[in-house]
Amino acid sequence: MSDLTYEGAGWTRGLLDGGTPPAGWRRLHASLRLPGADLRRAGEALLTWQVHRAAGVRVLADRPRAEVGGAVTTLLGVGPLALPAPCRVVWVEEGADLVGFGYGTLPGHPFVGEEAFAVRRQQDGSVRFEVRASSRPARWWSRLAGPVAPPAQRAYVHGLARALRRL
């Protein structure tokens, strides 16, 4: 995974369990309850890119489901104005209480960093959708978008959660 734009691939797996992202990087954490969700079905929708697609994100993936080493580019926006965000899957977990994956940025992505997407069964049996990420701008224009980026990222995550609830 030498083509990643940062060192130490896979650290977002630790973020899901309370780990710490790189110092000085912007952090994103969202945890949203999925009333009535089945962990296996929600996890499969997440791993097969259905959640992203249902949220209106165009996904170009070289594999039908998230697997370590797989390349995926999400396209945010419309037509020629769509912003490509190329990534590589760096970890996948399909456990009894957690299903998820993390991907890291590749050259051409507007940010440098890693993002984890997971569904987790809580002790009370409920299921939550979690996203944890940490990044820093990679381009001059993504630096300029600094104040707008966190609200845009939160809106993106909430859009994914709404899509997962519908699925």
Look up residue 93 and give its two tokens.
């977990």
Determine phi and psi for 149, rounding to 5 degrees.
-60, -50
Do 131 and 150 touch, CB atoms closer than 8 A? Answer: no
**pLDDT recorded at residue 154:** 75
Do 48 and 65 touch, CB atoms closer than 8 A? Answer: yes
Do 29 and 134 touch, CB atoms closer than 8 A? Answer: no
**pLDDT recorded at residue 141:** 66
CB atoms under 10 Å from CB of 69, counted, come to 11
Per-residue pLDDT of the chain (167 residues; tens, 9 = 90+): 579 998 888 888 888 887 777 888 888 888 889 998 899 999 999 999 999 999 888 999 999 999 999 999 999 777 788 889 999 999 999 999 999 999 999 999 888 999 999 999 999 999 999 999 888 877 766 666 666 666 777 777 778 888 888 87
Alpha carbons 2 and 4: distance in angstroms, whole number: 6
**pLDDT recorded at residue 46:** 96
Do 119 and 37 touch, CB atoms closer than 8 A? Answer: yes
Look up residue 114 and give its two tokens.
């890693």
Q: Residue 80 is which amino acid? A: P
Look up residue 115 and give its two tokens.
């993002």
Q: What does the CA dihedral 96, 101, 102, 106 come to, rounded to 10 degrees? A: 160
Alpha helices in 16-139 (DSSP H): 39-47, 50-54
Q: Which residue is listed with tokens 């973020």?
A: 15
Angle in degrees, CA 97, 70, 78, rounded to 5: 100
Domains of the chain as residue ranges with CATH? 11-166 (3.30.530.20)
Q: How far is CA 123 from the centre of its chain?
A: 24
